[in-house]
Amino acid sequence: MPSDEKQLRRYEFKKALEELDGLKGRGTELISLYIPPDKMIYDVVQYLREEYSTSSNIKSKSTRKNVLGAIESIMSKLKYFKQPPDTGLVFFVGHVQKRGDQTEMYSQIVEPPEPIQTFIYKCDSQFYTEPLMAQLKAKEVYGLIVIDRKEATIGFLNGTNIQVVTNEQSLVPSKHHQGGQSSRRYERLIEIAANEYFKKIGDIVNNTFMPIIRDMKGIFIGGPGSTKNFFFENDYMFKDITRKVVDLFDVGYTDESGLRELVEKASESMKDLQITREKDLVNRFMKELRKGDEGLAVYGEAQIQSALERKALDLLLLSDGVRKTKYFYKCPNCGYEQEFMQRPDDNTCPKCGGAMEMDHEEDYITKLYKMAEESGATVEIIGDESDEGSTLKKAFGGVAGILRYAPTASSL
């Protein structure tokens, strides 16, 4: 999947979870059910039957009715699944508050982007979304190396998961205390053994990292003392790999615990990598903006859409924090159509007085993304953690771009 499409999926998933977080029940009536991929549907149904029996004793008549109705709804939907999908299933079902004292039944089935690890059943006044929110965190892959003259461990950091690829023990002898010519000869033998050990580790690193080097965000090297620096600086790894090295850190161990320590020390660098990349993109736009009429910068809803329609946009920058949805209503009686920027309190048709119904809704960011996809423009979704990201959101409405070529008078 292209990286910009992954960004859109992440944006849409985050927006859906935010909408779920905004829903409230009158009491503890909203059910959140997380089903791991290895959980038998039969076992889930049995569990729900037990919950149904327990919930029959709820004192409040309305709460009891709504909880039982939600459980029945989930069980009826589970009939269509022989087994959970590869990443599991999540159900959000219950009566949510609307205007005044009104409630309506809400039901949403989510197939999460990553596997659900634990079976969870919660009945509360709001939906439980924390496990899915945790999956929103970027899952970049980093290479990890911890090394000294006795031992080396190589692994990956994938999201928050540390994967050990191999642990290698060295055969390099320890320093000795003999003197004279024998000492010098022994020192040479030690250095030859050390060189062979470093070559071996370099070969393992090359074979491990090269197949996915383009997908890796960076590489971190750690270890006690100066051995890590010597290994990095003396061409034991391919140039493509050394160019991916972000930083070196002092860590006390060179086994799996050393990898964990390395990840802790490198955490700020990992965060800075993404923010720096986003800063560079926004600064590229700002540089074009400062050129005035000769620049390639463009912003504003109408201007961006026009550039996309003309296939003139090279890069589209979208703020992760923009939330703009258009709601399209249609009157079933006379066919009158009207669009709103928020759900209307009054849906009376101004033409015939009937009740208009929502025909469809359109997310602004998703619409622009699809237009960019059709026109061949690159899309980057920018967070608002940095000053540049905040500027994009506040000063430019979260939407800006860089043109492929300078605009002509007729295209403005």
Note the pLDDT tens digit of each residue in 306-351: 999 999 999 999 988 888 888 899 999 999 999 888 888 888 999 9
Distances (CA, A) of 174 to 200, 234, 236: 19, 21, 22
Domain count, the chain: 3
Answer whether residue 8 is part of any domain: no
Answer whether residue 302 is part of any domain: yes
Answer whether residue 110 is part of any domain: yes
Q: Are residues 108 and 146 in the same domain?
A: no
Give the whole-angstrom CA distance, residue 54 versus residue 322: 43
Answer whether residue 203 is part of any domain: yes
Q: Are residues 76 and 159 in the same domain?
A: no
Answer whether residue 260 is part of any domain: yes
Note the pLDDT tens digit of each residue in 89-126: 999 999 998 876 788 899 999 988 888 989 999 999 99
Of 19, 15, 108, 6, nearest in space to 365 by CA: 15
Across the beta sheet with 325-330, the strand order is 337-340, 325-330, 357-363
- Residue at which a domain ends, from 103, 134, 165: 134
Answer whether residue 402 is part of any domain: yes
Answer whether residue 2 is part of any domain: no
Domain holding 357: CATH number?
Answer: 3.30.1330.30
- Residue at which a domain ends, from 273, 300, 332: 273
Q: Are residues 308 and 260 in the same domain?
A: no
Q: Are residues 31 and 107 in the same domain?
A: yes
CB atoms inside a 10 Å sphere around CB 93: 24
Note the pLDDT tens digit of each residue in 202-253: 999 999 999 999 889 899 999 999 999 999 999 999 999 999 999 999 999 9
Domain holding 57: CATH number?
Answer: 3.30.960.10
Q: Are residues 111 and 154 in the same domain?
A: no
Instruction: Note down the domain range covering 171.
Output: 141-175+190-273
* pTM confidence score: 0.58
Q: Are residues 46 and 168 in the same domain?
A: no
Residue 87: enclosing H or E segment and its boundaries?
none
